[in-house]
Chain A
Amino acid sequence: MIVAEQKPLQEIRRMISPYERVLILGCGTCMTVCDAGGEREVSFLHNALRLAQSKGGNEAHRFLEYTLKRQCESEFLETLVDKVGDVDAILSLGCGIGVQAIAERFPDTPVLPGVNTSFMGMSKEQGVWDERCAACGDCRLEDTAGICPITRCTKGILNGPCAGTKNGKCEANKDMDCAWVLIYKRLERLGQLEKMRRYYPMRNFRAIPRPKRLVRTPVGVGEDNG
């Protein structure tokens, strides 16, 4: 899933300051799971903003709150049509994709990002998320025992560890495992160390050029993949 964290309240207050009527818009998918912008966080943020406003004096915002099932898909955005007319801005607690989907659908309404979208990852324990995929468009997990060196090695290198690894940790962050130590140990366990010994050439950054677009040709009945 996509992992994000809510922006500091001060930054959110600065962003909304020109607008009177603000829709705080949550997202029911990734942002709910990572506790950054689901229904609960929308409600918390609404209260925090109201409280800050009452303490701070003359800012007169009116807030609406709403949470879409998914901000990144146009079919879900249609339920917003009758709400958008009543607000001066939308404070989206969706990821960067959600914010842009709303901006594309509602060209006359300013959209503000309420979270910093961080990475694609998974929950490790309560309140901890770890990055796992860089969406590089050229997946090599087969060669690396299911552990991604592009994401989990700070240098994203492909031919084994650098010399900075110590106690199985990374030179950039002593709390972070060295991806190549993990890869080596798991390949050894799987009896696949020959994959470690192979030479891997430089990455192809055109695998999916930026901005990336994926076009899937429909597969007819009886063709491949069927």
Chain B
Amino acid sequence: MANSLFEEKLHSDEFLVTTEVGPPKGVDVSEMIHHIDILKDKVDAINMTDHQSSVMRFPSLGGCLLVKERGGEPILQMTCRDRNRLALQADLLLAYSRGIVNVLCLTGDSIDVGDHKEAKPVFDSDSVQLLRMIRTLESGKDIAGNDLKGAPKFCIGASVHPEADFIEPQLVKFDKKVSAGAQFFQTQGIFDLGSLRRFMQYASQFDVKILAGIIVLASARMAQYMNANVPGIIISQAIIDELAGVEKGKGLQKGIEIAARFIKTIKEENLCHGVHIMAVGNESIVPDIIEAAQLVVAPR
């Protein structure tokens, strides 16, 4: 039996659509709630980012609670950057107890890219170890081997970087994540379908679902900035040129068009099992992309 609605869909042949919402810096969650409300019925699940880019924010667990409250399906992004193994396990127990069972296991960005650069980086665990930690909790034990009073059940995923400029070590890590129990992968941003095709030739041997990461770009400048400053982002020159070619103020519209085109192609060519749309601060335009890509999400 599936542990969550999202896990149930993972077992189906549906083309899956997920997106992400970044919690605010502060306690005014009204805009986040608005984003949850406009997205929850248009996607299969909403990821809540965990201090993305190492910038301190309202916590992902708190965001997931709000997704639940609003009747949506949350995916808890959990990084190893800020919590040691006690805190990770404790947060997982809390998440499960509140019906949050989809977890995306990430190592987490370096502290150096964020807004608290002098903080102590934790990284007691890495993403592979976190996946295994969750499977251990499910067995009714904590990772020190002590019995749990009530065992949780999760649906777990991880990330993978098909466009890494040196792919071999990334594939080794992907294998380790699959062996550790990852059921789904949401990839880093895809800007070249060729690399997704090559990756899928490799990944299709495994019984896991791959959701291609689609980052919505708002301008050529944003693309260049992300290339220079955001870990793991490699945006092709062709995309930058396409964005640069539009008149002022039309960048985001072009970004939506590019994202929709990628999604349509991925779906039509059946390249992978779904998409994960990352609008990075422009969450409100995700419904436009879904419409432009003619995606219909099965009713919940």
Contact = CB atoms under 8 A, between A and B. Distances in A.
Contacts of B165: 166-167
Contacts of B125: 202
Residue of A156, A157, A163 most packed against chain B (CB within 10 A) = A163
B166 A159 contact: no
A181 B169 contact: yes
A157 B123 contact: yes
A202 B129 contact: yes
Contacts of B132: 199, 201
B243 interface: no
B224 interface: no
B83 interface: no
B175 A180 contact: no
A172 B113 CA distance: 6
B234 A166 contact: yes
B129 A155 contact: no
Contact of B107 (A162, A172, A197): A162
Contacts of B170: 160-161, 163
B121 interface: yes
A193 B107 CA distance: 22
A172 B107 CA distance: 14
A164 B129 contact: no
Nearest to B161: A163
A9 B108 CA distance: 39
A43 interface: no
A161 B110 contact: no
Nearest to B234: A166
A151 to B, nearest CB: 13
Contacts of A157: 107, 123, 126
B297 interface: no
A154 B112 contact: yes
A87 interface: no
Contacts of A155: 81, 107-108, 110, 121, 123, 126
Interface in B229-253: 231-232, 234
Interface residues of A, number: 30
Contacts of B166: 165, 168, 181, 184
Contacts of A35: none
B159 A159 contact: no
B112 A172 contact: yes
Interface string B160-179: 11001110111011011001
A38 B231 CA distance: 41
Contacts of B169: 160-161, 180-181, 184, 196
A159 B173 contact: yes
A163 to B, nearest CB: 4
B195 to A, nearest CB: 13
B193 interface: no
Interface in B93-117: 107-113
Interface in B199-214: none
Contacts of A197: 172, 175-176
Interface in A97-152: none
Given A154-B110, A171-B110, A163 B231 contact: yes
B19 interface: no
A31 to B, nearest CB: 26
Interface in B32-60: none
Nearest to A164: B231
B164 A165 contact: yes
Contacts of A201: 129, 132
B128 interface: yes
Nearest to B129: A202
B188 interface: yes
A64 B166 CA distance: 57
A204 B170 CA distance: 25
A196 B172 contact: yes
Nearest to A156: B123
A158 interface: yes
Given A155-B107, A197-B175, 15 more contacts: A154-B112, A157-B107, A160-B169, A161-B169, A163-B159, A163-B231, A163-B232, A164-B110, A165-B232, A166-B165, A166-B231, A184-B172, A193-B172, A199-B128, A203-B124
Interface of A: 154-168, 170-173, 180-181, 184, 193, 196-197, 199, 201-203, 205
30 contacts: A154-B110, A154-B121, A155-B121, A156-B123, A157-B107, A157-B123, A159-B127, A159-B173, A160-B170, A161-B169, A161-B173, A163-B159, A163-B160, A163-B161, A164-B109, A164-B231, A171-B110, A171-B113, A171-B231, A172-B110, A173-B112, A180-B169, A184-B168, A184-B172, A193-B172, A199-B128, A202-B85, A202-B124, A202-B143, A203-B124
